[in-house]
Structure 1
Amino acid sequence: MPISAVIVDDEPLARRELQYLLERVGDVDVVAEASNGIEAVKIIRNAAPDVVFLDVQMPGLDGFAVLKKLLDAQAMRPDAEESMPEVVFATAFDQYAVRAFEVNAIDYLLKPFEERRVRQAIEKVRARQLANAPSNVQTSIETVPQASSEERLESLLKLLELQAGGAPQQAGVARVPAKTRSGKVVVRSGQRLLLVDQHDVSFASIEEGAISVVTPQIEGLANCRTIEELAEQVDADSFWRAHRSYLVNIAHIKEVVPWFKSTYLLRMDDRKHTEIPVARAQIKRLRELFNL
């Protein structure tokens, strides 16, 4: 039986290239494509494919946010028959992120795609299908128990969230030297492109694909596609990924507000005194920062 696949990428050329290579590999049926994360969530839930080839860097919902929404939906329907598909990341990320994928036993394809790697990815999907098949159909291949797709994806998301919050280096994951940073953030305000000193930035947030940058005096749009891209431009010791949708400047936190069920809000020093939620995975980091 052919493997059913969904391709998610905001670049049409990348989708066509990957579909062409999957056709060359053979025995793979591309049942749908998505050009953004919001569309991807709906398509994946409706198509229930065996595997998703998922672009990491997309405007709006990036690849990791897509997984989070799918996993959250799965958790709300524990009795549903459909399970999470296997995921193959399509990425231009550096070797540090690639090693993170390897640690979590999830395959990846570096752009530009290579037929050899696409073929290997499909072989891994087949192997996992056999490993998860009922014992009466495991005839020709001896398999060992493997973590479910949900467990592996949850593990990856937790690792990435810890990394974003400045957690200690994971064993077996090599760091690469930080890129040279200018210390400035480009902010579009009206028809102007402002060069804002990063230390003046209170926080940045993402909503519907737009990255907003807020200082005590101004607010505008960043010249970035993702929060991750913006985080690479600023000082990792000063900025903290308190929540998947927010990157905050620690020096501009005015107040830590206890919230419900042992969670917290950060009240910032901008004109609106914006309140930012702290992700549960980041509460330990919050307590370390302020000795709570």
Structure 2
Amino acid sequence: MTIRTLIVDDEPLARRGLELRLARHADIDIVGQAGNGREAFGLISVLKPDLMLLDVQMPGVDGFALLRAVPLTQLPLTIFVTAYNHYAIDAFAANAIDYLLKPVEDTRLDQALERARTALSARDSSRHCERLLATLSRLSGNSELSLAEALDEEITPAPSGKLAIKDGQRIVRVDLAAIQWIDAAGDYMCIHANDDTHILRGTMRELEQRLDARVFQRIHRSTIVNLARVKELRPHLNGEYFLRLDSGHELKLSRSYKDKVQLLI
């Protein structure tokens, strides 16, 4: 996954420093640079970056004003980069991925980028689920029909290595070994199986009861993972872990489920 990145800072040397440090990461594609918030606003709408490294204190439109001005549908993930630590609380209130102090240390930048990768992976999965749900709603042919009525899905127990999902008038049998992870999307669940995503109505608890706990484990309140598909486990400073699957996707193992780490060692 290539991360389209925008650097926003009024100091040319600071922008150059970030550019050099980001060059160590093959998946970071710097699509643009801006010297002030107004310029950045225009670039965001044109370039549609996935990630923005944003200075807080800039003349004219500062970092916080920029975030307030950008429509939520266009807002990239944001890492604040500033020389002033007293902005930290406001930065996280603005849902920043991370907050880096100048001069930026390589280690802290690496950690921030890892958080961005995890967030982007989760966001891509969520958006994919939303698109599928919207498509199913349109295909129902009835704008008055609720999405739940259009899907009319049920989960049945998984015999012979298959998970049977009722989808309208048909039943889809999904290979359990093909399932990489499962996540919740509102009142629905997304079952990610290799290149396919299956949408169904139900709860994580109900699905857990139908899956083999030796293979499928909850790692987050809204995520179940196939342990056999986990390729790499990396600890995070706050007690969480990042799991990289054999597909390249990254999932977060939250602190509430840190006892599951023993199953992966």
Give the TM-score of the pair, scaled to structure 2: 0.46
Q: Taking structure 1 as the reference length, what is the TM-score of the superposition? A: 0.42
Task: Flag the structure with higher strand content.
Answer: 2
Q: Which gives a bigger RCO, structure 1 or 2 (Cα 8 Å, sep 6+)?
A: 1
